[in-house]
Structures are given as structure tokens and as C-alpha cells.
Homo-oligomer: A and B are copies of this chain.
Amino acid sequence: MSAEFELIEKLRAALPASGGSVRLGSGDDAAITEPRGRTATSVDAIVEGVHFTRPAYSPEAIGHKALAAALSDLAAMGAEAGEAYVVLGLPADEGEEVTLGIAEGIGRLARATGTVVAGGDITRSPVLSVTVTVVGHEAPEIWLVSRAGARAGDVVAVTGELGGAAAALALLDGTAAAEPPSRAALLARQFAPDPRLAAGRALADAGATAMIDVSDGLGADAGHLAEASRGGIEIDMRAVPIQAGVTEVAGSAGAAHELAAGGGEDYELLAALPPASFEPAREAVERCGTNLTAIGIVTAGEGVVIRDGDKKIDPTGFDHRRAAG
């Protein structure tokens, strides 16, 4: 037990543990926070053999990815990052370096995003897993945005570029190759995804009617947004920005579009905006260092239609976790 408590002390040292709305951080029965308004809360778990493999993913990458996936949900609400609570499931024979490496990965992204790690737990587990609960706060004058407010006629827009995370899985399982500069950027999509927190707030502030993060895949996540908003979505794949190297990995432009439509884990934001709001939103997102591209429209129908020229893409045929599974 004493070794466990020593380890927990080292972990606390690696993590930003106070600030923001936190009044009492890690180490008591519960953390105490004092939110100034509404909060957004989300949980995300990543499990070895399901969401990552070793040694391909370093302990730092595992920690980074677990926190990034959770923060991406807050980005999709237009929230500011607040607190994170981390549960580490640790096999009995796992070395301290792994635990501290995961904490380093979490700590670095937490600092970069202003997240306080206010609590957590280490439990024995037959496989390595990291479960992260994040609490975000409503920024002043920026209302939180759900998936449910899209209206027929809204522009559907996406931040950044898609397809990279799925292409990285193909690189990792050795079924494809890419030139070094593209390869590094593609792998970063898996090892160090960037939650679009600032872009999410910019979109919320610019009048986004609905948002979701692209974690399951463009087709699937557009489907979630359409269903919650009781509308339909039409997407033109030729308008979707594809990350450099994805076409090379996929083998053709058509295959790259399928990867981008079905691939998931890019952690970009998909938003619906009234047409007049698109251009101001694009400029605001650009000031956050990210692109915003119009890729489709909200319709009065239901479901998602993805067109690639004359062809329709079925994004559900692609298992984006095949390579890490």
C-alpha cells in the first residue's frame, strides 16, 4: 500500500492539480469545485487491445489520447475545459514507468488546455485502461450547444481535415506506407489528437445550431446529429478536406473519401450553422488556427446521404478500429 501511495504522490506531481473552479483537489474522498454556471460532463475510456496497442502507442500517447478523446466532447459543446478525473486500470506486472508515462501524456495536454486533474483512482486490472471524466464550463456569453438544434437549410461544416486517424491505423498495421512528413502528421492523429476546444467555442459563439465531434466517423456522427435534430444531412465528399497522405495510404481518391467518411477518431468538429453565420464562423475558427469548410446541408428529410460525384458512399461498411482491435 505504501508503494501505491508513493506512486500516487508522483502522479500528482506530474499533473496540474489546482486552479480554475477547483477548491479541493485530488487526495480527499471527493474533489470540491465551485462552478460559476452551467457545466458539461463527459466520460471516455480507452482499453488496450481495443483502442490502442503496445508498443506502437507509448504511455505518453495513451495518456494524451484518453484525455483528448474526452476533451473533444467538451469542444463539441462549445465548453471551456475545467476538471478531469482519471481512473487507471493497471495490470499487476506493469512498471511504474508506464504509469508515470501515462501521467506525463495527460499532464502535458491538461496544461495545454487549462484542464485541472482534480481526482482519480488506480485500480488493478488484467488489461491497461484509462477512463477519463471531464467537466467543462460555459464560457462567459457563449451558450453550450447540443446535437439537437440543426434546422433545414443550415450549412454543415467541418473543422480541419479528415481521414488521417484511419490512415494512421493502416500505417500502424503495416498494410500501407506514406512519405515521412505525411506519415508523422498522420500518426499524430492517433498518438496526439488535438481537441478543438477553441474552435468549438468560436463555433458556439458564431451561432452554431448543433455540434458533434467526429469520433465515430463523419457518416456515423452526421447521423447522430441528424437524428438528434430530427432532420436529414446531405454531404458532398468532394468538398470534404482530406488530410495530406490519406489518398496515398488509401490508394485512390475514391478510397480516401471512404476512409474519411467512415474512419472516425479525427476529433474534428462537425457543426450546423445558419447560412449567414458560416462566413463569420469560418473567420473565427481560422483565428483559432483551424480551417472551417462547408461540406453539406441540413435537409427536412431524415438520415445521412453522402455523395461522391455520382456515387453514394455507405460509411457504415468500414470498421475504423480494425487495425487496433
List residues of chain A with CB under 8 Å of any chain B CB. 1, 23-24, 27-35, 37-47, 49-51, 73-74, 76-77, 79, 83, 85-87, 89, 118-121, 123-127, 129, 131, 133-136, 144, 146-148, 211-213, 220, 228, 316
Which of the residues B34, B73, B131, B212 comes within 8 Å of A87, measured between beta carbons? B131
Number of copies: 2
Contact A28 B148 (CB under 8 A): yes
A167 to B65, CA, bound (A): 41
A53 to chain B, nearest CB (A): 13
Which of the residues B38, B89, B144, B220 comes within 8 Å of A47, measured between beta carbons? B89
Residues of B contacting A118 in the complex (Cβ-Cβ under 8 angstroms): 41
Contact A125 B47 (CB under 8 A): yes
A228 to chain B, nearest CB (A): 7
Which of the residues B23, B41, B42, B146 comes within 8 Å of A135, measured between beta carbons? B41
Which of the residues B28, B33, B125, B136 comes within 8 Å of A38, measured between beta carbons? B33
Which of the residues B29, B31, B211 comes within 8 Å of A212, measured between beta carbons? B29
Contact B124 A47 (CB under 8 A): yes
Residues of B contacting A135 in the complex (Cβ-Cβ under 8 angstroms): 41, 135
Contact A1 B146 (CB under 8 A): no
Contact A129 B136 (CB under 8 A): no
Q: Does more than half of chain A's interface fall in helix, strand or loop, or is it mixed? A: strand
Contact B228 A28 (CB under 8 A): yes
A128 to B27, CA, bound (A): 27
A50 to B51, CA, bound (A): 22
A46 to B131, CA, bound (A): 12
Given A1-B316, A121-B45, A124-B50, CB of A33 within 8 Å of CB of B29 = no
A31 to B123, CA, bound (A): 26
Given A77-B30, A147-B29, A211-B29, CB of A129 within 8 Å of CB of B121 = no
Given A38-B34, A127-B125, CB of A27 within 8 Å of CB of B83 = no
Contact A29 B213 (CB under 8 A): yes
12 contacts between A and B (CB under 8 A): A27-B228, A28-B77, A29-B74, A29-B77, A30-B134, A31-B40, A31-B41, A41-B118, A43-B120, A44-B87, A47-B89, A85-B133
A206 to B68, CA, bound (A): 42
